[in-house]
Amino acid sequence: MPDKEHVIVGTAGHIDHGKSALVKALTGTDPDTLPEEKERGLTIELGFVFLDDPAGEKQIVFIDVPGHEKFIKTMAAGASQIDAALFIIAADEGISVQTREHFDILRLLGVRLGAVALTKSDLVDEARLAALKAEVRSFVGGSFLEGAPIVPTSAVTGAGLGEIRDVLRGLGRRVEPRPDNGIFRMPIDRVFIIQGFGTVVAGTVLGGRVAAGDRIEIFPEGLKSRVRGIQVHGKKMDFSAIGRRTALNLQDLKKEDLRRGQVAAAEGSLVPTVRLDARLDVLRSAEKEVKHRDRVRLHIGTDEVIARLALIEGRKIEPGGSAMVQLILERPAVALPGDRFVVRTFSPLATIGGGTVLDAGPKKHRRFSDRDIEGMKRLGGRARDAAEEVFLQAAGSPLSAGEAALRLGRSEAEIEPAVRELLADGRLVMIGPEKPEIYLHQKMYAGQKEKIEADVRKYFEAYPERPDMPFADVRAAFLKRGGEARTLRLIIDDLRRAGVVVAGNARLGLVGHEARMNSADLKAGEEIEAVFRRARFAAPLEEDVQRRLGLNPSAFKKILDALIREGRIVRLGAKVTYQREALDAAREAVLGLVERHGSVTIAELRDRLNLSRKYAQAILEHFDKTGLTKRVDDRHVPAARA
- Would you say 153 or 181 has its CB closer to ligand GDP? 153
Binding to Mg ion in span 243-302, by CB under 5 A: none
Helix (H) or strand (E) holding 17: none
CA distances from 20 to 32, 46, 190, 598 (A): 7, 10, 18, 106
Interatomic CA distance for residues 614 and 626, integer angstroms:
18
Interatomic CA distance for residues 151 and 623, integer angstroms:
97
- Would you say 93 or 318 has its CB closer to ligand GDP? 93
Q: C-beta of 326: minimal distance to ligand GDP in Å?
A: 37
Kind of pairing, strands 350-359 and 340-345? antiparallel
Interatomic CA distance for residues 77 and 555, integer angstroms:
73
Which amino acid, 560?
A: L
Q: Which of 23, 26, 42 is nearest to 34 (CA)?
A: 42
Q: Which of 160, 175, 172, 134 is nearest to 18 (CA)?
A: 160
3-state SS class at 2: coil
- Would you say 20 or 80 has its CB closer to ligand GDP? 20
- What is the DSSP code string of 37-79? HHHHT---S-EEEE---TTSSSEEEEEE---SGGGHHHHHHHH
Q: C-beta of 13: minimal distance to ligand GDP in Å?
A: 6
Q: C-beta of 239: minimal distance to Mg ion in Å?
A: 33
What distance separates the 2 farthest-apart alpha carbons in the chain? 128
Binding segment toward Mg ion, per CB under 5 A, in 18-26, 139-147, 601-609, 624-632: 18-26
3-state SS string for 240-289: EECCCEEEEEECCCCHHHCCCCCEEEECCCCCCEEEEEEEEEECCCCCCC
Find which of ligand GDP, Mg ion, none residue 213 binds, CB within 5 to 8 Å per kind. none
Find which of Mg ion, ligand GDP, none residue 17 binds, CB within 5 to 8 Å per kind. ligand GDP
CA distances from 203 to 162, 268, 404 (A): 28, 19, 27
Q: Is 20 in the site for Mg ion (CB under 5 A)?
A: yes
Find which of Mg ion, ligand GDP, none residue 95 binds, CB within 5 to 8 Å per kind. none
3-state SS class at 181: coil
Interatomic CA distance for residues 615 and 624, integer angstroms:
14
Binding segment toward Mg ion, per CB under 5 A, in 13-21, 134-142, 276-284, 305-313: 13-21
Contact 19, 116 (CB under 8 A): no
- Would you say 106 or 242 has its CB closer to Mg ion? 106
Interatomic CA distance for residues 185 and 168, integer angstroms:
26
Residues 6+ apart with CB under 8 A from 301: 77, 80, 81, 187, 261, 263, 334, 335, 339
- Would you say 21 or 317 has its CB closer to ligand GDP? 21
Contact 551, 531 (CB under 8 A): no
Q: Which residue's CB atom is positioned nearest to Mg ion?
A: 43
Find which of Mg ion, ligand GDP, none residue 15 binds, CB within 5 to 8 Å per kind. ligand GDP
- Would you say 161 or 423 has its CB closer to ligand GDP? 161
Query: How many amino acids of this chain bind Mg ion (CB under 5 A)?
Result: 3
- Would you say 82 or 570 has its CB closer to ligand GDP? 82
- Would you say 160 or 353 has its CB closer to ligand GDP? 160
Binding to Mg ion in span 25-54, by CB under 5 A: 43
Binding segment toward Mg ion, per CB under 5 A, in 17-25, 394-402, 429-437, 488-496: 17-25
Q: Which residue's CB atom is positioned nearest to ligand GDP?
A: 18
Q: C-beta of 391: minimal distance to ligand GDP in Å?
A: 48
Q: C-beta of 161: minimal distance to ligand GDP in Å?
A: 10
Which amino acid, 356?
A: T
Find which of Mg ion, ligand GDP, none residue 494 binds, CB within 5 to 8 Å per kind. none
Neighbouring-strand partners of residue 489: none
- Would you say 42 or 183 has its CB closer to ligand GDP? 42
> Site residues (CB under 6 A) for ligand GDP?
15-21, 41, 43, 67, 119-120, 122-123, 154-156
- Would you say 20 or 262 has its CB closer to ligand GDP? 20
Q: C-beta of 43: minimal distance to ligand GDP in Å?
A: 5
Q: C-beta of 74: minimal distance to ligand GDP in Å?
A: 13
Find which of ligand GDP, Mg ion, none residue 415 binds, CB within 5 to 8 Å per kind. none
3-state SS class at 291: strand
- Would you say 154 or 411 has its CB closer to ligand GDP? 154
CA distances from 242 to 7, 208, 239, 416 (A): 11, 6, 11, 22
Find which of Mg ion, ligand GDP, none residue 249 binds, CB within 5 to 8 Å per kind. none
Find which of Mg ion, ligand GDP, none residue 388 binds, CB within 5 to 8 Å per kind. none
- Would you say 12 or 61 has its CB closer to ligand GDP? 12
Contact 297, 346 (CB under 8 A): yes
Find which of Mg ion, ligand GDP, none residue 120 binds, CB within 5 to 8 Å per kind. ligand GDP
- Would you say 17 or 340 has its CB closer to ligand GDP? 17
Q: C-beta of 378: minimal distance to ligand GDP in Å?
A: 43
Q: C-beta of 92: minimal distance to ligand GDP in Å?
A: 8
Interatomic CA distance for residues 311 and 376, integer angstroms:
12
Find which of Mg ion, ligand GDP, none residue 394 binds, CB within 5 to 8 Å per kind. none
Q: C-beta of 14: minimal distance to ligand GDP in Å?
A: 7
Contact 77, 304 (CB under 8 A): yes
Q: How many C-beta atoms surround the C-beta of residue 435 within 10 A?
A: 7
Q: C-beta of 20: minimal distance to Mg ion in Å?
A: 3
Interatomic CA distance for residues 321 and 338, integer angstroms:
20
Find which of Mg ion, ligand GDP, none residue 108 binds, CB within 5 to 8 Å per kind. none
Q: C-beta of 201: minimal distance to ligand GDP in Å?
A: 25
- Would you say 34 or 564 has its CB closer to Mg ion? 34
- Would you say 38 or 486 has its CB closer to Mg ion? 38
Find which of Mg ion, ligand GDP, none residue 122 binds, CB within 5 to 8 Å per kind. ligand GDP
Q: How many C-beta atoms surround the C-beta of residue 159 within 10 A?
A: 14
Q: C-beta of 24: minimal distance to ligand GDP in Å?
A: 7
Binding segment toward Mg ion, per CB under 5 A, in 12-20, 217-225, 469-477, 505-513: 12-20
Contact 103, 141 (CB under 8 A): no
In the complex, the residues that contact Mg ion under the rule CB under 5 A are 19-20, 43
